[in-house]
Structure 1
Amino acid sequence: MTLVHLFPGQGAHRQGMGRELFPRYPHLVRRADALLGYSIEELCLDAPADKLADTRYTQCSLYVVGALGYLDLVRESGEVPDYVAGHSLGEFVALFAAGAYDFLTGLELVRHRAEAMAKAGPGAMAAVIGLSEDEVREVLTAHPDVDIANLNAPTQIVVSGTGDAVRDASRTLGTRAEAVIPLRVSGAFHSRHMAAAAEEFGRVLSRHRLAPLRIPVVANTTARPHTDDRLASELQRQLTSPVRWTESVRHLLRLPAPHLREVGPGQVLTGLIDKIRDAAPVGAER
């Protein structure tokens, strides 16, 4: 069996997440509070929904809850995964699990990433249900200011851009798709609009030494395992590139006897995995 741990990103956050984890790891919670300048436990348990949905807070809270959840699962099960992957922000939890950095260094990187993305300005994203990537790209030829941000499942594609551009594209996409659902996000993530944020985050990454990975991590940008020599550049590029989740999961499903386990709040990735499996050719990636 090949054990794979998967970590969700923004969209999986919810009030109350981490409730059972914070009392078990008080030393890490205190260190997170000192770095952030606020109580991560109070943010996750008591903050208003709009604050928790602010990317500056969403990313840090998901990283902490994901990292603590990983530590707790390994401690309880005694099993270290053979592979890891994470969706967008979740990739930083996967890299913590793989030994690229310690808990606090990862949180510091995530905080800088979140702040840079917030400074990029407002934007919008929408999930397109029922169209393939090629069909979405065909529609977007009439909406050149909108990018594909997430390839979540064969017929679940997320688009990203300015609010007006995404609304216009959503109306056109809605004439062909089963549904077009606006996402509760504060920016045009994984699009060209994150170029300035990527530059700023690249400067932050250049000040840190990322350790060689002890566990293979499948990259959002390539859907293949990260290499140590390109890790920093791929993390920078992730901000302006689509999350290739369908390809990533298919790569993992081709491993010997894969067992994919979601670690973190909710079951968003588990649902996507089911859709990807169902769309695969019979016998190809089961």
Structure 2
Amino acid sequence: MRSYVFPGQGVQKKGMGKGLFEHFPELCRQADEVLGYSIEALCLENPDRQLSRTTYAQPAIYVVNALHYLTARRQDAAPADYLAGHSLGEYNALFAAGAFDFETGLRLVKRRAELMGQADGGGMAAVVGVSGETIAETLEAHGVAGVVIANYNAPEQHVLSGSKEELERIKPVFEKLDGVRGFVPLRVSGAFHSPWMATAAEEFRAFLDTVEFGEIRTPVVSNVTGLPFGSGAQAIRETLADQITHAVRWVECVRYMRKAGVSTFEELGGSKVLTSLIDQIPAEEPKDAAPWREYRDERVLALLRGCANGTLSVDEVIATIRAGGTSHR
């Protein structure tokens, strides 16, 4: 089985999408009208280093990812059995799955980028070399309440998000921690995928209510739960709003797809960032790990909420639990 995966913010660079724009003039025209500027000029020339700003970077990545996907389809690439994207890339996965068209997806991304870009304050830092459990225990042991794990990118590659002051305070602790190979502050405008984004998430939730969504034709594995999106428009709205304040559980997304039978992951977007992460993720967690302990309750709540609002049937919830989606392994 095959999965197409799409990268998110951080892969933007001058020259991105070169050789693609001329093959999709109508989509580029749509993008220019939605954004109010030339998407081709932004990506190829990066005027005033605009790609370093969230409000420009996210639409650029969405467009380039989409053009890579459409190019693959034009070349009769094998269809995907599963789709997934890292953070912003999830919008490309939903586009590929038929949840919305190119223009609707871009309008969503544009608004998301505006709201996240306005939510300044806070910061992020990458921690390499130790498990998420070790990171959580270290934060708790040192009384760091204003920082959370925002990205579970690989078993030993995580991103923290929260208070800049708390990140600075905990930095020397992690640098001295056994196994840590790096603690790297990231150049971002805010504390993404954390409670610091609560206002942005609520405003985006209101915007999502104005958008119509189609049925997902190919399963899209959600960053929020590590499980496929529930069926129906409301399930999509809820999950996309939650994504802004919740951790990106990329490890669980990959493990879910592997357990479902996916053996081939193809990254579309001109980057190999996700390919590198996927190579670091074994199919199963080590037997001595404490699987699901950190986020089992969140998954249960996601299933129960889906059942309550009618986006998941009781049968779907039971099937997920039987498959191991919310239980200890």
Which category of TM-score, normalised to the shorter sequence, fits these structures?
A: over 0.9
Describe how 1:124-163 pairs up with structure 2 within 5 A.
124-141=123-140, 142-163=143-164
CA distance in 2, matches of 1:42, 1:276: 37
TM-score by length of 2: 0.82
Which of 219, 226, 231 is 1:223 aligned to? 226
**Partner of residue 255, structure 2:** 250
| 1:122 CA drift (Å) | 2.9
User: More displaced, 58-67 or 170-179?
Assistant: 170-179
Aligned residues of 1:8 and 1:90 also touching (Cα < 8 A): yes
The reply to whether residue 30 of structure 1 matches residue 29 of structure 2 is yes
| 1:253 CA drift (Å) | 1.2
| 1:49 CA drift (Å) | 7.3
Aligned residues of 1:15 and 1:49 also touching (Cα < 8 A): no
SS at match of 2:227: coil
**Partner of residue 274, structure 2:** 269
User: More displaced, 162-171 or 9-18?
Assistant: 162-171
User: More displaced, 176-185 or 266-275?
Assistant: 176-185
CA 1:225–1:116 in 2, change beyond 3 Å: closer, same or farther?
Answer: same
SS at match of 2:149: strand
The number of residues matched between the two structures is: 281
Aligned residues of 1:14 and 1:265 also touching (Cα < 8 A): no
Amino acid at match of 1:260: F
SS at match of 2:75: helix
**Partner of residue 186, structure 2:** 183
1:157-215 alpha-carbon deviations (Å, 9 max, x no partner): 10001322222222222211211112222111000000000000000000011111011
**Partner of residue 293, structure 2:** none
TM-score by length of 1: 0.94
**Partner of residue 209, structure 1:** 212
CA distance in 2, matches of 1:122, 1:149: 15
Describe how 1:1-286 pairs up with structure 2 within 5 A.
2-48=1-47, 50-141=49-140, 142-176=143-177, 177-229=180-232, 230-256=235-261, 258-277=263-282
CA 1:162–1:51 in 2, change beyond 3 Å: closer, same or farther?
Answer: farther
User: More displaced, 40-49 or 57-66?
Assistant: 40-49
SS at match of 2:79: coil
- RMSD across aligned positions (CA): 1.6
CA 1:62–1:257 in 2, change beyond 3 Å: closer, same or farther?
Answer: closer
CA distance in 1, matches of 2:69, 2:271: 14
Larger-Rg structure? 2
For structure 2, which runs of at least 5 residues remain unmatched after alignment?
288-329
SS at match of 1:228: coil
Amino acid at match of 1:266: S
Amino acid at match of 2:259: R
CA distance in 2, matches of 1:164, 1:279: 36
CA distance in 2, matches of 1:139, 1:147: 11
1:41-89 alpha-carbon deviations (Å, 9 max, x no partner): 1111111574201110110000000011100011113422111000000
Aligned residues of 1:11 and 1:184 also touching (Cα < 8 A): no
| 1:278 CA drift (Å) | 8.3
Aligned residues of 2:259 and 2:283 also touching (Cα < 8 A): no
CA 1:168–1:278 in 2, change beyond 3 Å: closer, same or farther?
Answer: farther
For structure 1, which runs of at least 5 residues remain unmatched after alignment?
none
SS at match of 1:85: strand
User: More displaced, 260-269 or 40-49?
Assistant: 40-49
Indicate the structure whose relative CO is greater, using CA pairs within 8 Å and at least 6 residues apart.
Answer: 1
User: More displaced, 118-127 or 34-43?
Assistant: 118-127
| 1:125 CA drift (Å) | 0.8
Aligned residues of 2:151 and 2:248 also touching (Cα < 8 A): yes
CA distance in 1, matches of 2:248, 2:138: 20
| 1:257 CA drift (Å) | 5.0
CA distance in 2, matches of 1:78, 1:137: 41
